[in-house]
Amino acid sequence: MLSIFISMVIFALIGAITPGPVNIIATGSGASFGFRRSLPYILGATVSYVSIVFLVGIGLNTILQTFPEITTALQYIGGAFLLYMSYKIATATPLNIDEIKTAKPPTFMEGMLAQGLNPKAWLVSMSGVSLFVSANSPALFYLLMFCGISFVICFIGVSTWAAIGYLIGGFLSTRKRQVIFNIVMGFLLSGTVVSIFLNK
| pLDDT per residue as tens digits for the range 49-108 | 999 999 988 886 677 667 777 767 777 877 787 788 788 778 877 655 555 555 788 999
Q: Does residue 40 form part of some domain?
A: no
Q: Does residue 43 form part of some domain?
A: no
Q: How far apart are CA 91 and CA 85, in angstroms?
A: 10
Q: Does residue 65 form part of some domain?
A: yes
If one counts every other C-beta atom within 10 angstroms of the C-beta of residue 58, the result is 14
Domain total in the chain:
1
What DSSP string describes 130-174? HHHTTTSSSHHHHHHHHHHHHHHHHHHHHHHHHHHHHHHGGGG-S
Q: Mark 19-41 as b/e (b = at least 16 C-beta within 10 Å).
A: ebbbbbbbbbbbbbbbbebbbbb
Are 81 and 113 contacting, i.e. CB atoms less than 8 angstroms apart?
A: yes
Query: Interior CA angle at 133 toward 129 and 134, to 5°?
Result: 90
What percent of the chain lies above the pLDDT cut of 70? 90
Q: Does residue 37 form part of some domain?
A: no
The tens place of each residue's pLDDT in the chain, 200 residues long, gives 788 889 899 889 888 887 788 998 999 899 888 999 999 999 999 999 999 999 988 886 677 667 777 767 777 877 787 788 788 778 877 655 555 555 788 999 999 999 998 888 888 888 888 888 877 788 889 999 999 999 999 999 999 999 999 998 777 667 787 788 878 878 887 887 777 677 65
Residue 11: which residues within 8 A CB-CB, separation 6 or more? 128, 131, 132
0.85 surpassed by pTM:
no
Q: Does residue 125 form part of some domain?
A: yes
Q: Does residue 42 form part of some domain?
A: no
Q: Does residue 39 form part of some domain?
A: no
Kindly report whether the peptide bond that precedes residue 138 is cis, defined as omega within 30 degrees of 0.
yes
Q: Does residue 105 form part of some domain?
A: yes
Structural domain for 144, as ranges: 2-32+49-198
pLDDT for the residue numbered 158: 96
pLDDT for the residue numbered 184: 85
If one counts every other C-beta atom within 10 angstroms of the C-beta of residue 113, the result is 19
